Chain A
């Protein structure tokens, strides 16, 4: 990824949200979706483009633990531990993912392929329990369906190799 490509991406994200009040969080989601985390350079560029103090941006991205300041793995597996998902068995899913990937929540695998994390509420409680892998949303997840998806990811990486 070269520098100007990064800047163009940020400009695009900022353009989308700039004139909507209270949309800083959405723009930051945009950044994290694009880069997998919120790189400092991108945050600085976003500040410039959206006319928001960098101080404000860091207040937000350090307040919400969903935002990451460091590069995570290629596949970010987020297990929702919000109330609905929790009651529908999310802890079991988290334990399974942790064992299957051999990392604890909050960690990135040594090969940089997987990052596992807990999140609190993805905002679709009707589909609980929910797990996301990057942009893919897995609904009404069971241990088996989770394992199937993780296997698919692992195989994809093997094929590439």
Chain B
């Protein structure tokens, strides 16, 4: 048992486990010590100095974020001198920060702006020395403005440690320190996989999503264009945060309505594409697992940052990859073929906009020739949840009052299996439900596969279907992938049975609910609440298995034929190739 520590914070007695920092201990007694560089996902780096506190008996002020509480400490978190030091730190940061709040992508949602407001800084006494550094928009997924960087190091920690991508680093030192793509080149030439976790963790506007809203507005105003939208699973439980709904509120119906009011002529659901992905992927799995066609484990391919990561660093596992396109890409190709044909609309006029929790989806729509399987670019623009929230606000739509609406068919109906794609483990769970049906002819008696749920970095388990054991693994956060792959490679080299039959990988911690394009301020608490919103919808739904989706059945009957059939292969599947990059 760990030792308990007793101490006093601002006169309040506090009891915590040994090792808990002063910052976290203070929160237990409702004392909020201000922070700037500290993020709950990341180790404290003590870079900024905002969280200083005073400990009785020591002259030095200590940083609460990285100092463990010790027995009998008497801590003061506010006094005139502490406040003065904090104000000086903020003032120094502001002296190096461009005064561009009104036109900044993080305005009203910036941790530095908020802190400056809380401390009531009305004037600064220091000369402004904003460095003259160029924007990097080369990825067309995230925009890096190094002038706005406060060198807290969060993005680097995420990129190097959590994601193991090593696309970002600090260069130079002291006052010249700047954030840059590794090797001082453009981000697009770096190992960056465009996951956008840097933007999700940046406290300021130094890294934000690449804004594609202007192109969408233009098309919406074009009377010739037939604009259609699709929304991803994780968007529905996160968009509400931009409108002060409780975290995790499912706003599917309101989002459909808002999109129609903005001018979209049809509103589809990416969840339909998710159900379709499961149909194809579960059949692919059965082919490999039961009929020995191609290698195991089968590895999921819905996450574009993961696909990019694999092509850059692990191209030896291309044969293991599911050839299924992502749900976004499937809905895109069907909108310009199936939907167009059934409704006699010229596919050249259809403009497909996808709303995704993701910055990498902006890259996915262009990643290979299969992304134009309809004869046109299947998805024209991919927006993040954050961009959609801005568009709704700009449109003057009262998101609280707008009534809920239904999606458009043929690509709108979905099952609970499609919805849970948005949480880590969801694709695996959905696939297992349908794989069970394909093997036994019956739906599983219990729909929930709890081993795939939750925020543990790597989840492993076994299920038994018709006397056969299926070994599965789920990883989220790219840094966790290496361990799984190492195990699989070892077994392959030794000629042994693969350690897993089926592997799901999502690049972002928590899966898409924690995606790089979601509303700011993500923590494990938010990831859990957003995921809960998805699981709730799954549980309450009429259909919980992708193969039970009547519109998916109709699609196969009327158009595709069968899973993995010729037409499905042409519209719903893709290929991979190595994309070597420099060493990370």
Contact = CB atoms under 8 A, between A and B. Distances in A.
Interface of A: 40, 43-44, 47-48, 51-59, 62-63, 69
26 contacts: A40-B183, A43-B183, A44-B582, A44-B583, A47-B582, A47-B583, A48-B582, A48-B583, A51-B583, A53-B166, A53-B583, A54-B166, A54-B584, A55-B160, A55-B166, A55-B168, A55-B169, A55-B182, A56-B169, A58-B171, A58-B183, A58-B184, A59-B170, A59-B171, A62-B172, A63-B172
A44 B189 CA distance: 13
B167 interface: yes
B182 A58 contact: yes
B131 to A, nearest CB: 14
A48 B202 CA distance: 30
Interface of B: 160, 166-173, 180, 182-184, 582-584
Contacts of B172: 62-63
Contacts of B184: 58, 62, 69
Nearest to A64: B173
Contacts of B582: 44, 47-48, 54
A10 to B, nearest CB: 12
B171 A53 contact: no
Given A53-B583, A56-B166, A69-B184, 5 more contacts: A53-B160, A55-B168, A55-B169, A58-B184, A63-B173
A124 B172 CA distance: 26
B415 to A, nearest CB: 42
Given A44-B583, A47-B583, A55 B167 contact: yes
A52 B583 contact: yes
B584 A53 contact: yes
A14 to B, nearest CB: 11
B171 A54 contact: no
The A contact surface, by secondary structure, is helix
A55 B584 contact: yes
Contacts of A51: 583
Contacts of A44: 183, 582-583
A29 B36 CA distance: 37
Given A40-B183, A43-B183, A62-B184, A54 B583 contact: yes
A19 B583 CA distance: 18
Nearest to A44: B582
Nearest 8 A/B pairs, CB to CB = A55-B182, A55-B169, A47-B583, A53-B166, A62-B171, A55-B166, A48-B583, A54-B183
Nearest to A45: B583
A57 B584 CA distance: 10
Contacts of A57: 183
A78 to B, nearest CB: 20
Contacts of A55: 160, 166-169, 182-183, 584
Contacts of B166: 53-56
A52 B173 CA distance: 20
Contacts of B180: 58
B170 to A, nearest CB: 6
A54 B182 contact: yes
B167 to A, nearest CB: 7
A84 B501 CA distance: 65
Nearest to B160: A55
B96 to A, nearest CB: 18
Contacts of A43: 183
Contacts of A40: 183
B314 to A, nearest CB: 15
Contacts of B183: 40, 43-44, 54-55, 57-58
With most chain A CB atoms within 10 A of its CB, the pick from B168, B173, B183, B583 is B583
A44 B584 CA distance: 10
With most chain B CB atoms within 10 A of its CB, the pick from A47, A52, A54, A63 is A54
With most chain B CB atoms within 10 A of its CB, the pick from A40, A48, A51, A59 is A59
A148 B584 CA distance: 47
Nearest to A50: B583
A69 B171 CA distance: 12
Contacts of B160: 53, 55
B583 A58 contact: no
A53 B173 contact: no
Nearest to A59: B169
Nearest to B180: A58
B336 to A, nearest CB: 40
With most chain B CB atoms within 10 A of its CB, the pick from A48, A52, A54, A55 is A55
A40 B182 CA distance: 12
A43 B171 CA distance: 15
A139 B499 CA distance: 63
A160 to B, nearest CB: 35
